[in-house]
Amino acid sequence: MPAAADAAWLRDDMTARYDTLGVGYTHRRVPDARISTQITRALGDARTVVNVGAGTGAYEPRDLTVVAVEPAATMIAQRVSGAAPVVQAVAGSLPFDDRSFDAALCSLTIHHWPDWRAGLHEVRRVTRGRIVVFHFDLDAQRDFWLLGDYLPEALSLAAPSVAEVARELGRSRVEVVPVARDCTDGFLCAYWNRPEAYLDPAVRAAISTFHLLGPSVCERAITALARDLDSGAWDERHGHLRALDEADLGYRLIVSG
């Protein structure tokens, strides 16, 4: 585990970050049933699971014994009644003994960890079996219209690639996670065929990318998108997406063990 001073810094940094990003998650970040099924299948025959970077509890299997780990009080306060018990801690310093859990889940979280390798080391330490990481690959999102046409700055944000995560975990398989046209989990690319949604400040408030890039960058991007929707330019370029049922937008499950 990290030294006490390092662990305290990690806890304070992550708590501050998630307390800012986490407002309104329960309304806009509703677990998508199709993704839930894929994650549960990937967890295999595990009976006990630690959910690291658990947030409000999305994708926690309800029929397994789950312990959630979350640094931010804002997120913890939004966990629904009956959710798994939660420990306020950070991935880089997990307060559990070695090999405490059958499996681990990390869902759209490791790109926020100050040291994702140290976090995964801790996840491996406390897990005796399978590790499932729901993540994304920025390289695979370069052609996504929101980033390519309006928000290219998002491509420069720090995030480990899927290949890097797989190498760090060792002996892993990677599964594509398709994003359905009516995906209920409002992550960055969820509204790929519903561009009007990005004009809603409440939608953007539940997407960390908009927080990380800052208001001036986001205002410029959203103004341009609104203009193109009004003029029909967006539909001229991307309107064919409205007829598709799902898309591959770089979201992946990395399954180790």
Predicted pLDDT at 139 = 87
Q: What is the pLDDT of residues 57-111, one digit of tens each?
A: 989 999 999 999 999 988 899 888 888 999 999 999 999 999 999 999 999 999 9
| pLDDT, mean of residues 227-253 | 98
How far is the C-alpha of 116 from the C-alpha of 53, rounded, in Å?
11
Per-residue three-class SS string for 32-88: CHHHHHHHHHHCCCCCEEEEECCCCCCCCCCCCEEEEECCCHHHHHCCCCCCCCEEC
Residue 25's pLDDT band, with cuts at 50, 70 and 90, is: low
Provide mean pLDDT across the span 177-193: 97
Q: What is the pLDDT of residues 3-23, one digit of tens each?
A: 443 334 334 444 445 455 555
Segment 116-122 mean pLDDT? 97
Sign of the CA dihedral running 136, 139, 143, 145: positive
Q: What is the pLDDT of residue 21?
A: 52
pLDDT at 242 over 90: yes
**What pLDDT score was predicted for residue 128?**
97
Q: Enumerate domains of the chain plus CATH numbers.
A: 4-256 (3.40.50.150)
Strand partners, 106: 133
Q: What is the pLDDT of residue 114?
A: 92
